[in-house]
Amino acid sequence: MNPLTDVVLLERRGPIATVVLNRPERLNALNQATWTSLTTAFGSLDRDDSVRCIVVRGAGDRAFAAGADIAEFAAERSTVEQAREYGAVEHRAVMAVADCRHPTVALIRGACVGGGLEIAVACDIRICGISGRFGVPINRLGLTMQYPELEFFIRAIGRAAALEILLEGSVVDAERALALGLVNRVVPDDHVEREAYASAERIAEGAPLVNRWHKRFVRRLDRGGSLTPEELDEAFEAYATDDYRIGYQAFLGKQQPRFEGK
């Protein structure tokens, strides 16, 4: 583990990076230092061409992240001005996860609530153990979710389900989260780490340029509007890459391709 700060850790295993929310004694509750370090971690990884997949997880096995650290509210979120500044820090972190060009997998056990759920929803794939618990009960605190994070939330589960969770302040179990589309799959808790890293390894075995293109294409389609001729033409750029030739020749030779990201 390479500590960015004591609240966020970064691990590398070949082309797979792991970002760890590291406050297990607080169920990985998110404070301002966590948000800032998360932005730093994803900024560094986004610039690294050797990365092919990023796994995001909480330290320990009790929580991915149990929302914001309410203990710091009095000092850092007691006025509109403070909340606006804090919200900007949080927004930068969530967008750093969402906009990262590399595929991301959230490995979830236990509580995944509030800001923790915002981080998880900003990831591309979410795999959780049966102990997973999901919700955004911020109407119990008198708080609102910011527009960009709300957009991710609605995109993940739809308007009706998002409003159900927000208006009722519900915390749902893993099976309900699966039914709502909050997670991609649910496995026993003792299998979730293996399943998440197996997903990351499958991603890492694919052509990294293609994975980055597909991620960007999906985000572009989410924004809506007509595609430009240049955007439509971008889908054919893969044919000019070394990875296309590697993949094509490996297929013909019935071999496992070893992509170079070129």
Asked if residue 252 has pLDDT above 80, the reply is yes
What are 201-222's pLDDT values in tens digits?
999 999 999 999 999 999 889 8
- Facing residues of 113 across strands? 66, 135
Q: Determine the pLDDT at residue 5.
A: 65
Q: Are strands 53-58 and 104-108 parallel, antiparallel or unpaired?
A: parallel
Q: What is the CATH number of domain 2-204?
A: 3.90.226.10
Q: Determine the pLDDT at residue 58.
A: 97
Strands (E), the chain: 2-5, 8-13, 16-21, 53-58, 63-66, 104-108, 111-113, 125-129, 133-135, 171-173, 185-187
What are 165-181's pLDDT values in tens digits?
999 998 999 999 999 99
What are 11-38's pLDDT values in tens digits?
999 999 999 999 999 999 999 999 999 9
> What residue segments make up the domains of the chain, in order of their start?
2-204, 207-252
Q: Determine the pLDDT at residue 8.
A: 96
- Facing residues of 128 across strands? 108, 186
Global pTM reads: 0.93
Distance of CA 107 to the CA centre of its chain: 9
Q: Determine the pLDDT at residue 197.
A: 98
Q: Determine the pLDDT at residue 83.
A: 82
User: What is the pLDDT confidence band of residue 2, given thresholds at 50, 70 and 90?
Assistant: low
Cβ-Cβ contacts under 8 Å for 186 (sequence gap 6 or more)? 128, 129, 130, 132, 174, 175, 177, 178
Could you tell me which residue, 130 or 81, shows the higher pLDDT?
Answer: 130
Count CB-CB contacts under 10 A for residue 58: 28
Q: Please list the alpha-helical segments (H only) found in 111-241.
A: 115-122, 147-157, 159-168, 174-180, 189-205, 208-223, 229-234
Least confident stretch, 15-24, 65-74, 105-114: 65-74
CA-based diameter of the chain, in Å?
A: 65
Q: Determine the pLDDT at residue 77.
A: 75
Asked if residue 76 has pLDDT above 90, the reply is no
